[in-house]
Amino acid sequence: MMIHSDSTLWEVGRRRKSISSVSLVAVLWVCVFSIGLTHSQTTIEPTHPAEINALVALRGSLTNSKEQLPSWYNNGDPCGTQWEGVLCLQSEYPSDLNKDGFSHVTELRLLRKNLTGTLAPELGNLTALKILDVMWNQIGGSIPDTLGNLKNLYLLLLNGNQLTGTLPDSLGFLSGLNRIQIDENQITGPVPTSFQNLSSVQHLHMNNNSLSGRIPPELGKLPKMVHLLLDNNNLSGPLPPEIASAPSLLIIQLDNNHFDKGTTIPRQYFQIPTLLKLSLRNCNIIGGIPVSNMNESQQLGVIDLGLNHLNGSFPILPPQLTAIDLSRNNFRGAIPTQLGSLQNLSFLMMSNNSFSGALPRSLGSAPIYSDPSSRIIWDFQNNNITSIPQNESLLKTSDTQASFYFANNPVCAGQKLAEWCMPTSDFTLLDVGVINNSSSNQGTTCAENCDPPARLVPNAVSHGCRCAVPIIVWYRLKSPGFSLFDLYEREFLVYISSGLQLSIDQVDIFDYTYDPGPRIQMHLHLFPATGYTFNDSEIQRLYDSFSTWLIPDSTIFGPYELLRFTVSHPSTGTEGLSGGAIGGIVVGIVAAAGVIALVAILFFLKKRKSRRPAMARMDQRFLSKIKATGLQEWTWEDMERFTDKFSEKNVLGVGGYGKVYLGLLPDGTKVAIKRKRAAGESSEQFQTEIELLSRVHHRNLVALKGFCQDEESGDEFLVTEFMENGTVEDHLPPRTGTPLTFPTRIRIALGAARGINYLHTEANPPIYHRDIKASNILLDKKLQAKVADFGVGKNAPDPDEEGGVGGGVDTLVKGTPGYLDPEYCLTHTLTDKSDVYSFGVFLMVLLTGRQAITQGKNVVRHVKMAGEADMLWTLVDTYIADQCPTEVVEAWARLTLRCTATDPNDRPSMTEVVNELDKMYKAAGIRSEIDSAPSTPSTTNTTTTSGDRTRYSFLSTPSTTLTSDEDSQTNFMPGYGRLSDA
C-alpha cells in the first residue's frame, strides 16, 4: 500500500526554499538509520517449502500472473518479501504448525486482479490457509479436489469467475468452513450430498451457475445455515420440505430453476420462525399458497412467487410483510381485502393475473402511503379491475414517490388516469438506473470546493464545512429482506456505521442501483472522523471488516459482498485495493525508499533553481511533434500568470480532473485551464493524452490550445477554449440559464452527434467517449455545440483480421448515472454502442427537459412507457411544445428509443444518428449562418484566424454567472460548476 501524503506536509514540501538542505539531509539520514536498525532486529522465518511450491504452481497456472502479480517474480520468500495478496499471520497458525520453524500462508487475497488461467491443484498444500479469495477475476477450469485438504479453511471465495466442472465432494468435509461463495461461474452437476457435513457453514451462495439435479434434502441438517442461495441454475426435482428444518435459516432463494412439473410449495416453508425472505420466482410451481399457520413466520418480510402457475385463495398473510410479488400467475376473483391491513407493504406486484372487481378501499390507508419520503410501487397491469376508489388517502399517495400501474384494465377506459394507465414491463419497475443519493449535504450552505479526491464530509455544516478524502467501497446486498431500499436507508446507515465502528456521520451512501435479482449495489463513502485522510491502520481495519465479514449479519439486509475497495491519496491518485495490496508495508522496502528519497531531494535541491516543464527534458521528439500541431507548451509561471496565481475568484468549477480556472492569455483570449494535482502517473500517460487530443480536430469538439506539466509539483494542466454559454444542462430545468428553443435544441443535437461521430469514425484510433451527458456538451457564444471531456475516453480496441472493432473490457465502469449503458454496466465491455445509448439519453433530456434521473425515476423508462401508450407529447418540455413540428418530434422520439434499445445490436451507429438528425433538421426548416458552415474537421486550433472560422472565436464577455444555491457560494461560471467526477 502506498503511504498517504498529508496535505500539510505536501504544502511544506512546496515551500522547501526556507528549509536548510543540511538540516534536511541530517534528518533523513537519522530516519533511514533508524529504519535500518529496526529492520536488523526483525526476523521472519522462511516460508514452508511445500507452500512455496504451491504458490509457484499457482503462479504458473495463472496465465497473466507476470503482468498482474509482478511481486511473485522477485525471487524472494513469499512471507518474507510480501508477495502481493499473500498473508502469513502467525496468530492464525494451527497449533500443530505454530512452532515448526517455518512461516505459513494463512490468507490468499486476490480480489479483482484480472487474473486468467486456472487454480493449481497444489493449492491443497497450503495447510494453514484460512481465507482463499480469488473473487471477480477471469479464472477458468475446475475447482481442484485438493481444496478438500484445507482443513483450516474458513472462507472459500471463488465467485465472479469462469469456473467450470462439478463441485468436488471433498469440499463437504471442511468442517470449519463458514462461507462458500461459488456464485456467478459456469459450474455444472449436482450439489454434493457431502455438504450435509458442513457443520459450521452459514452461507451457501451457489447462485448463477448451471447446477443440476435435486436439492439435497440433507441440507436441512445444517445447524448454522442462514442463507441458501441457489437461484439461476438448472435444478430439478421437487422442492424438498426438509430444508425448512435448518434451525437458523433466514433466506431461501431458489428463483429461475426447472423443478419438476407439478411441483408445489411445501407448507413447511411458511412455518420457519426465523425466515425473512422466501423467493421462488419462475420455479414451475402449481397449486396455491399453502394454508398454514403463518403466525409462526414472525420475521417473514418478502414473498416472491411470481412467474409460476399458482391459483386458488389466499391464506392469512404475516402482518410484517413489506413486499409481495404474485405477478404472472393464474389467480382469479377479487383482490384480497387483507392486503390493506399490511401496514408496511410498499411493493405489491399483482400484474398478469385475472383479478377482477374494484380495488379494495383499504389499500392505501396505512400511514406509509402518506409519508412523502416513502417510495411505493403497485402493479396491477393486465387484470380485470373495474374501479379504483378515489378516496383521500389514495390521492395523497399520488403526491409522494408512489408509482401505480393499471394499464390494460377496464378501469383505464374512458377515465383520466393517464399516468396510472401507461404500460410498462414488470421486469423493469425497479430498473431506475443508478440513484444519485449522497443526501447528507443536500441543501447545505457549504460550498463544494474541495480539491479532488476530497469531498465534503457528511452533514458538513455541523463539521465546519470540512473536506476529507473518502474511502470508496463498492458493496452489494445479495438478497435483501425488502424490495424498496428507500424505507430502510437510515436504518442501513446505522447498521453499517455500527458494524464498522464509525459514527453515522462518517458514512455516506453516494449512490445505489437495483441489480437483477433484485440485488442492491451501492457506492459507500467512508470519511475519517478528524483530519484529511484515514491512517494506514484504519484502512487495514476497515478493509478487513468488509473482506472477512466482520460486520455482523443483519436479518433485514441479508448477505453482502465486497466488489471493490478504493483508497484515494491527495497527491498519489487513486489506488484500488484488494487482498495483499493492503497487507502491510515491508520494513526493508521502506528503508530503501528512504534512501531513494534522500538522493532525490539532494538532486532537486541542486536543480530547483531552473524550474522547467517536465516535458522539456523528457522527450524532445514528442515535444517537437506536438508543437507542430499548433499546441503551446506553457510553464508553471505561465499558469500562475494566466489565472492570477490560481485565484479563487477565477475558479470555474471542480470536477474529477481537478479545479478548472478561467484564464486570460496575453492576447486577451479567455481559456479554461484544468489543473490536475500530482497523481503519481507517469509522464508517458500525460503524453498519451496530449497526443490524443492534439490529433482530434472538429468544430463540434472542444479544442485543446496547450498544456503544462510542472516537474517540481507534478501538476498537469490542460488549456482549452472557453465556452461562454456553459453546458446544455445549464439551460434545462431546474437550472437558471436561458431556455433553449426547439430549433436550437435540434441544432445542438446535430452538432454534438457530428462531434461524437468524428471520434468514432475519423479519429485514429477511434475514441469512445464513455461519458456523454448534458453537462459534457458545451455551448459557445452562438450556442454551437461542442463535445467536451473526450480526452478521458477510451481508445477502441485494435481491429481484428477482418477489420472489425469489438469492445474493450474495463475493470472499472466509468460514466454518469442515468446515462450509462446497462450492457456496459453488466459486462464492462465498452463499444461504440455504449456511446450511442448515452447519446440517446441526452436526446431524451433535450426533448423532455427532464434530468436523466429525477427523484429516482429514469427518463429512459418514462419515454419508453409514454411511447408504448402513444402519449409522447405528455413528456415534451412545455417550453418548446408549441414550437415542435409533430413529425419531427415523433422521429426524434423514435430515434431516442432506438439509441436506448436494450440489445446493443438494435442500436444505430453514430453515423446513422447524424443522418437521422440531419433529416429532422431539414424537415423542421431551420436556417442559420452557423448551421450552413461546412461540417468538415477544422485544421487548426487557433481562434483568431480569418474567414469563416472567425465565427468561432471566443473573445466575447462571458454570460451572467449562475445564482442557484449550489453555485452562488463560489460564483462558478455556467458549465464548469458541476463537472463530471467520472
Report CA 442 to chain centroid distance, whole Å.
21
Can you tell me the distance from the alpha carbon of 543 to that of 364, in angstroms, rounded to the nearest whole number? 43
**Cell, residue 534:** 484515514
Q: Are residues 926 and 826 in the same domain?
A: yes
Bridge partners of 662? 672
Specify the pLDDT at position 787: 94
Give exposure, 169-187, as e/b (b: 16+ Cβ within 10 Å): ebbbbbeebbbbbbbbbeb
Three-state secondary-structure class, residue 122: helix
The answer on 239 and 186 residing in a single domain is yes
Instruction: Classify residue 367 by burial, with Cβ atoms within 10 Å: 0-12, 13-18, 19+.
Output: exposed
CATH number at 714 reads 3.30.200.20
Between strands 131-133 and 107-109, the pairing is parallel
- The answer to whether residues 217 and 193 touch, using CB atoms and an 8 Å cutoff, is no
Is 281 in the same domain as 335? no
Q: Do residues 802 and 886 share a domain?
A: yes
**Active-site residue, from 771, 789, 835, 877:** 771
Helix, coil or strand: residue 782 = coil
Q: Do 298 and 375 reside in the same domain of the chain? A: no
Inter-residue contact 848 to 875 (CB < 8 Å): yes
Q: What is the pLDDT of residue 610?
A: 42
Q: Is residue 192 part of a domain?
A: yes
Nearest-angstrom CA–CA distance, 566 and 366: 42
- Which residues lie below 8 Å from residue 428, measured CB to CB, with a gap of 6+? 861
Numbered residues of the known binding site for ATP: 674
Mode of pairing for the β-strands spanning 767-768 and 716-721: unpaired
Q: How far is it, in rounded angstroms, from Cα 610 to Cα 591?
A: 30
591 with 638, same domain: the answer is no
The whole-number pLDDT of residue 441 equals: 55
Cell numbers 387484470 label which residue? 383
| Contact indicator for 400, 369 with CB cutoff of 8 Å | yes
- For residues 977 and 685, what is the distance between their CA atoms, to the nearest angstrom? 26
Largest CA distance in the chain: 91
**If DSSP states are collapsed to H, E and C, what string results for 825-874?**
HHHCEECHHHHHHHHHHHHHHHHHCCCCEECCEEHHHHHHHHHHCCCHHH
Residues 544 and 470 reside in one and the same domain: yes
Note whether residue 55 is domain-resident.
no
Alpha-carbon distance of 170 to 148, in angstroms, equals 5
Cβ count within 10 A of residue 610: 8
Does 378 reside within a domain? yes
Q: How many CB atoms lie within 10 A of CB 457?
A: 26
Cis peptide before 453 (omega within 30 of 0): yes
List, as residue ranges, the binding site. Answer: 674
Q: Domain ends where: 275, 303, 331?
A: 303
Alpha-carbon distance 240 to 237, whole Å?
A: 9
Residue of 818, 820, 794, 816 lying closest to 807 (CA atoms): 794
717 and 732 assigned to the same domain: no
Residues 547 and 600 in one domain: no
> DSSP characters for 715-781?
-EEEEEE--TT-BGGGGSTTS-SPPPPHHHHHHHHHHHHHHHHHHHHTSSS-EE-----GGGEEE-T
pLDDT for residue 678: 61
Query: Could you tell me the CATH number of the domain that includes residue 223?
Result: 3.80.10.10
Average pLDDT of adjacent 10-residue blocks, the chain of 982 residues: 31 33 42 40 78 97 94 91 90 87 94 94 97 95 98 96 97 96 96 97 96 97 96 96 96 95 93 92 93 74 94 83 93 90 89 93 79 80 86 52 84 72 59 48 62 83 83 89 78 93 92 76 92 91 91 84 81 44 41 48 45 48 58 91 91 76 92 77 67 84 89 86 89 77 93 95 87 92 89 48 40 68 70 93 92 75 76 81 86 93 92 94 65 34 29 25 29 40 33
Q: Is residue 232 part of a domain?
A: yes
Q: What is the DSSP string of 650-701?
A: GEEEE-SS-EEEEEE-TTS-EEEEEEE---S--HHHHHHHHHHHHH---TTB
| Burial tier of 950 (Cβ tally within 10 Å: 0-12, 13-18, 19+) | exposed
Residues facing 633 on adjacent strands: 707
Q: Is residue 155 part of a domain?
A: no
Is there a catalytic annotation at residue 6?
A: no
Supply the pLDDT for residue 554: 81
* Cell triple for 253: 432463494
Residue 154 lies in a domain: no
CA angle 542, 548, 550 (to 5 degrees): 65
pLDDT at residue 925, rounded to an integer: 75
Helix runs in 15-131, H state only: 21-40, 49-61, 65-68
Residue 895 located in a structural domain:
yes
The cell numbers describing 592, all together, are: 530503501
Please indicate, yes or no, whether residues 286 and 328 belong to a single structural domain of this protein: no
597 and 477 part of one domain: no
- Cα separation, 342 vs 321, in Å, equals 7
Grid coordinates representing 285?
A: 410451481
Beta partners for residue 278, in sequence order: 252, 303
Secondary structure of residue 713 in the 3-state scheme: coil
- Domain span at residue 185? 165-303
The three three-digit cell numbers of residue 444, written as one number: 447545505
Query: Could you tell me which residues come within 8 angstroms of residue 552 by beta carbon, excluding any fewer than 6 positions away?
Result: 499
Q: How many domains does the chain have?
A: 6
The pLDDT assigned to 447 comes to 65
Strand 651-654: give its sheet, edge to edge.
632-633, 704-709, 716-721, 670-676, 659-664, 651-654
Residues 476, 401, single domain; the answer is no
The model's pTM is 0.63
The pairing of beta strand 573-577 with beta strand 435-436: unpaired
Dihedral-angle region of residue 265 (phi above 0 means left; psi in -120 to 50 means alpha; beta otherwise): beta
Is residue 328 situated within a structural domain? yes
